[in-house]
Amino acid sequence: MREAVRELHARGHQAVVLSPEVTMHIKAEDFFTMKTYAVPYTQDEFDYIVTGKLHLFFERIHFLTLFLETMASLKNVSLVFQRSCEELLHNKDLIRHLNASSFDVVLTDPVYPCGAVLAKYLSIPAVFFLRSIPCNLDTEGTACPDPFSYVPRLLTMNSDHMTFFQRVKNMLYPLSFKYICELSFTPYARMASELLHREVPLVDIFGSASIWLFRGDFVMDYPRPVMPNMVFIGGINCANRKPLSRVCIGAFIQSMFQVEHIVLKNNLLPDAYLSTDLFKDFHRASLVAQ
pTM: predicted TM-score of the whole model, two decimal places: 0.75
In whole angstroms, what is the distance from residue 99 CA to residue 122 CA? Answer: 7
> What is the overall mean pLDDT for the chain?
79
What single-letter DSSP state applies at residue 153? P
Question: Which helix (H) or strand (E) covers residue 50, if one does?
Answer: helix 43-51
Secondary structure class of 286 (helix, strand, coil): helix
Phi, psi of 19 (to 5 degrees): -145, 145
Whether the CB-CB separation of 202 and 184 falls below 8 Å is answered with no
Phi, psi of 175 (to 5 degrees): -60, -30
Whether the CB-CB separation of 75 and 181 falls below 8 Å is answered with no
Question: Which helix (H) or strand (E) covers residue 196, if one does?
Answer: helix 178-196
The proportion of the chain whose per-residue pLDDT surpasses 90, expressed as a percent, equals: 30
Whether the CB-CB separation of 41 and 48 falls below 8 Å is answered with no
pLDDT in tens, 103-150: 999 999 998 899 999 999 999 999 999 888 877 888 888 998 888 777
Give every CB contact of residue 272 below 8 A, 6+ residues apart in sequence. 243, 244, 278
Q: Which residue type does 91 have?
A: N
pLDDT in tens, 69-108: 777 777 888 888 999 999 999 999 999 999 888 899 999 9
pLDDT in tens, 60-70: 777 677 777 77
- Please, what's the largest Cα pairwise distance for the chain? 70
